[in-house]
Amino acid sequence: MTDPILKISNLTKRFGGNTAVSDINLEIQPQETVAIIGPNGAGKTTFYNMVSGRMTPTEGKIELEGQDITGLPPHKISRMGVSRSFQINNIFPEMTVQENVEVAVTAFHGHSRKLFNFASRNKAVQEEARELLAKLQILELADRRAEVISYGDKRLLEIAVVLATRPHLVLLDEPTAGMTPDETKRTTSLIRQLADTGEYTFLITEHDMDVVFGLADRILVMHRGENLFVGTPDEVKAHPEVRRAYLGEEEEEEASA
Ligand SMILES: Nc1ncnc2c1ncn2[C@@H]1O[C@H](COP(=O)(O)OP(=O)(O)OP(=O)(O)O)[C@@H](O)[C@H]1O
C-alpha cells in the first residue's frame, strides 16, 4: 500500500456545545476520488474547512503527504499542494478565459522558479493554459471574457484554474451545484476523465447522488458530525443505516416537495 496523500486522524470540531465534526478518521490514497456526503448540517463544510485551513480543528490531526498541516493557514496549505474550488469566486470576470488560467499557471511557475527567461516563460504559460482549457473542453472559449460565459462553463474554468497550480490534492466543493442536468452530466464525465488520467486526487462534496456515485471510488458518509460509513458506491447504496439516515431521508424530502 502506498503512503496516503491525506491522513485524517480523530478530527473533531466543536462550536460551543455543538460538535460539528466528531472523531473522523480517513485516509486518501494517491489517484483516489473520495466524496463526502451527508444530510444538511452533517459537518461536510466544517470538515472541508479544516482540511483547507479555513478552520482550526478542536482536536485531531491532518497530515498531507506525511507532513502535519493541522491548523496551518489556507495560503500555506495551498502552497503545499491542496487546491480548493471556491464556486467561481476565484475567477477574474473581466479577463479572458485563457488569461484566467494563465494567471494561475504563472503563479505556480513563480513558486517553482523553473522558467526564468521571460519569452519562453510566456510561451510555456500560454501552452499550459491551452492544454488545461482543452482538458476541460472549453478551449473554444479561450478568448471570451470570463463574465460572459455560461455558469456551467465558469465552473469548468474554475476547475482549470485550480488544476493550473498542479495540486497534489484537489478539493471540489459541490462541483455541479446550480448546473442544468446537461451541464451536470458533462461536468461529471469531465471530472471522471480527469480522475482516470491518474494525475489527480480528488476530495469532493456533492449533494447530487448521481454525481457522487458516478465519480467516487470511495464515499465517506457523515451524519451529525460522525463517520457513519466509508465504502465504495455499491457498499454505500447497500448499507441499511446509510439508506435510512441519508438516502431514505432524501426520498422523503423529494416526496414531500
Ligand atoms: N461557524 C460556525 N459556528 C457555529 N456553528 C457552526 C459553524 N459552522 C457550522 N456550524 C454548525 O456545525 C454543524 C455542521 O455544519 P456544516 O455546515 O459543516 O454541515 P454541512 O454538512 O456542510 O451542511 P450543508 O449540507 O447544509 O452545507 C451544523 O450544526 C452547523 O450549524
| 250 compared with 211, residue with greater pLDDT | 211
Residue type, 181: P
User: Are 123 and 158 contacting, i.e. CB atoms less than 8 angstroms apart?
Assistant: no
User: Are 141 and 133 contacting, i.e. CB atoms less than 8 angstroms apart?
Assistant: yes
**Per CATH, domain 1-77+200-257 is 3.40.50.300:** yes
Is residue 114 over pLDDT 50? yes
Each domain of the chain, given as residue ranges in start order, spans 1-77+200-257
Give which of 158, 81, 161, 151 is closest to 128, Cα–Cα: 161
Q: List the single range of 65-74, 176-185, 240-249 with lowest mean pLDDT.
A: 240-249
Is residue 252 over pLDDT 50? no
Is residue 20 over pLDDT 90? yes
Q: Locate the ligand 1 atom nearest the alpha carbon of residue 48 and give its number.
A: 18
Residue closest via CA to ligand 1's atom 1 equals: 15
Q: What is the pLDDT of residue 23?
A: 97
User: Are 149 and 97 contacting, i.e. CB atoms less than 8 angstroms apart?
Assistant: yes
Residue closest via CA to ligand 1's atom 16 equals: 43
Is residue 255 over pLDDT 50? no
pLDDT average, residue stretch 39-64: 94
Residue 87, all three cell numbers? 464556486
| 118 compared with 243, residue with greater pLDDT | 243
Distance 68 CA to ligand 1 centre (A): 25
Q: Locate the ligand 1 atom nearest the alpha carbon of residue 38 and give its number.
A: 21
| 249 compared with 82, residue with greater pLDDT | 82
Quote the percentage of the chain above a pLDDT of 90: 72
Pocket residue to mutate for ligand 1, from 12, 36, 46, most atoms within 8 A of Cβ: 46
Distance 147 CA to ligand 1 centre (A): 31
User: Could you please report the per-residue DSSP string of 47-92?
Assistant: HHHHHHTSS--SEEEEEETTEE-TT--HHHHHHTTEEE--TTTT--
User: Are 211 and 176 contacting, i.e. CB atoms less than 8 angstroms apart?
Assistant: yes
ipTM comes to 0.96
Q: What is the pLDDT of residue 2?
A: 75
User: Are 125 and 109 contacting, i.e. CB atoms less than 8 angstroms apart?
Assistant: yes
Express each pLDDT in 160-199 by its tens digit: 999 998 999 999 989 999 899 999 999 999 999 999 999 9
What burial letters (b/e) apply to 122-151, b meaning 16+ CB within 10 Å?
eebbbebbebbbebbebbebbeeebeebee
Predicted confidence band of residue 115 (pLDDT cuts 50, 70, 90):
low
Mean pLDDT score of the chain, rounded to an integer? Answer: 89
Predicted confidence band of residue 120 (pLDDT cuts 50, 70, 90):
low
Q: What is the pLDDT of residue 117?
A: 64
* Number of C-beta neighbours around residue 170 at 10 A: 25
Q: What is the pLDDT of residue 257?
A: 42
- Write out residues with Cβ below 6 Å of ligand 1: 15, 18, 20, 38, 40-46
Predicted confidence band of residue 254 (pLDDT cuts 50, 70, 90):
very low
Q: What is the pLDDT of residue 118?
A: 63
